[in-house]
Amino acid sequence: AQSVTQLGSHVSVSEGALVLLRCNYSSSVPPYLFWYVQYPNQGLQLLLKYTTGATLVKGINGFEAEFKKSETSFHLTKPSAHMSDAAEYFCAVGTGTASKLTFGTGTRLQVTL
């Protein structure tokens, strides 16, 4: 069984500040890890994913995440927040064989001036 825990349902940062959204996972097999972004009333857009190989993954819009197996974490970061980053962010875990993605409960990112 797999699970995802996203710490902090709401995160507020100032424009230009570091964004850090936390995700911890549980998986009995090597995980595939994903971050999705959802803007209001829109669908799920893939930001980045980790499957195998390099543990630091770069995604779209300046986001990156690092897979840390020892900490079972896959935190999402962006060095400098922009107003357009305000959205809901979902971490998800899957595997290379099973077909199901398990999502976390999401973190709403607010960016203030």
Partner 1 sequence: EPEVTQTPSHQVTQMGQEVILRCVPISNHLYFYWYRQILGQKVEFLVSFYNNEISEKSEIFDDQFSVERPDGSNFTLKIRSTKLEDSAMYFCASSEREGTYGYTFGSGTRLTVV
Binding site for partner 1 (CB under 8 A): 32, 34, 36, 41-44, 46, 49, 51, 90, 92, 94-106
**Distance of closest approach, residue 63 Cβ to partner 1, in angstroms:** 17
**Distance of closest approach, residue 108 Cβ to partner 1, in angstroms:** 10
- Identify which of residues 73 and 102 has a Cβ nearer to partner 1 in the complex: 102
- What's phi and psi for 79, nearest 5 deg? -65, -35
Kindly state the DSSP code that residue 17 receives in the 8-state scheme: S
**Distance of closest approach, residue 101 Cβ to partner 1, in angstroms:** 5
Tokens coding 35: 């971050």
Q: Where are the beta strands (DSSP E) in 7-112?
A: 10-14, 19-21, 24-26, 32-38, 45-50, 56-58, 64-68, 73-78, 87-94, 102-103, 107-112
- Identify which of residues 2 and 81 has a Cβ nearer to partner 1 in the complex: 2
- Identify which of residues 14 and 58 has a Cβ nearer to partner 1 in the complex: 58
